[in-house]
Structure 1
Amino acid sequence: MHYLVEVLNERGMRLLYNEWLDQDMLKAHYEGRPVNRSYDLLLGIIRRHFSNRSQPTLLDFGAGYGGLTSISQKNDFKTHAFDLSEDKNHSAALAGISIVEDLRQFPHYFDFIWVNQVLEHLANPSEVLKTLKASLAKGGFMYLAVPDCAVLDGAFVRQGLSRELFQMLSPHQHINAFTGKTLRLLAEKQGLAPLGLFDYLGMYSIGLGVKEMKFLAKKIIRNSASSTGLLFKSEC
Structure 2
Amino acid sequence: MVPTKINNHFVKRSHCPVCTSENLKMLYSEAYESENITDYLDDFYNAQGGVEHEYLKGTDYSLLQCLNCDLVFQENIPNDDLMFRLYEQWIDANIVCKAQEQYPLWYHETYANQIIDLITFFKRKPIDLKVLDFGMGWGKWCLMAKAFGCQVYGLELSKARIDYAQKNGITVLNEAELANHKFDFINTDQVFEHIPNPKATLETLLEKLAINGVIKISVPNGNGVDEVLKHMNWTAKKGSANSLNMVAPLEHINCFKTQTILALAEQFNLCEVQIPRSKTYYKSKKDFIKKSLKIFTTKKKPSTVLFFKKSSS
Residue matched to 1:81: 154
Residue matched to 1:172: 250
Q: Which has the higher helix share?
A: 1
Q: Which amino acid aligns with 1:58?
A: V
- Does structure 2 retain, via aligned residues, the 8 Å contact 1:108–1:134? no
Cα distance in 2 for residues equivalent to 1:77 and 1:210 = 18
CA RMSD of aligned residues (A): 3.1
Residue matched to 2:119: 47
Q: TM-score, normalised by structure 1?
A: 0.81
- Stretch of structure 1 that moved more, 183-192 or 138-147: 183-192
- Does structure 1 retain, via aligned residues, the 8 Å contact 2:246–2:255? no
Q: In structure 2, the residue corresponding to 1:131 is in which secondary structure?
A: helix
Cα distance in 2 for residues equivalent to 1:125 and 1:233 = 17
Q: 1:10 to 1:110 in 2, by over 3 A?
A: farther
Q: In structure 1, the residue corresponding to 2:261 is in which secondary structure?
A: helix
Q: 1:235 to 1:7 in 2, by over 3 A?
A: same
Residue matched to 1:189: 267
Q: TM-score, normalised by structure 2?
A: 0.63
Q: In structure 2, the residue corresponding to 1:163 is in which secondary structure?
A: coil
Shift, 1:163, TM fit: 2.4
Cα distance in 1 for residues equivalent to 2:281 and 2:146 = 24
- Does structure 2 retain, via aligned residues, the 8 Å contact 1:9–1:123? no
Residue matched to 1:136: 209
Larger radius of gyration: 2
Q: 1:136 to 1:107 in 2, by over 3 A?
A: farther
Cα distance in 2 for residues equivalent to 1:119 and 1:98 = 22
Gaps of 5+ in 1: none
- Does structure 1 retain, via aligned residues, the 8 Å contact 2:138–2:165? yes
Shift, 1:159, TM fit: 6.6
Residue matched to 1:209: 280
Q: In structure 1, the residue corresponding to 2:308 is in which secondary structure?
A: strand
1:92 aligned to 2:168? no
Q: Which amino acid aligns with 2:118?
A: I
Selected match of 1:30 from 100, 107, 127 = 100
The structure whose RCO (Cα within 8 Å, separation 6+) is larger is 1
Q: Which amino acid aligns with 1:7?
A: I
Residue matched to 2:221: 148
Q: Which has the higher strand share?
A: 2
- Does structure 2 retain, via aligned residues, the 8 Å contact 1:112–1:141? yes
Q: Which amino acid aligns with 1:174?
A: H
Q: Which amino acid aligns with 1:184?
A: L
Selected match of 2:90 from 9, 13, 20 = 20
Q: 1:174 to 1:99 in 2, by over 3 A?
A: same
Q: Which amino acid aligns with 1:194?
A: E
Gaps of 5+ in 2: 1-70, 238-242
Cα distance in 1 for residues equivalent to 2:203 and 2:157 = 18
- Does structure 2 retain, via aligned residues, the 8 Å contact 1:126–1:190? no
Cα distance in 2 for residues equivalent to 1:88 and 1:210 = 30
- Stretch of structure 1 that moved more, 37-46 or 157-166: 157-166
Number of equivalences: 225
Shift, 1:78, TM fit: 0.9
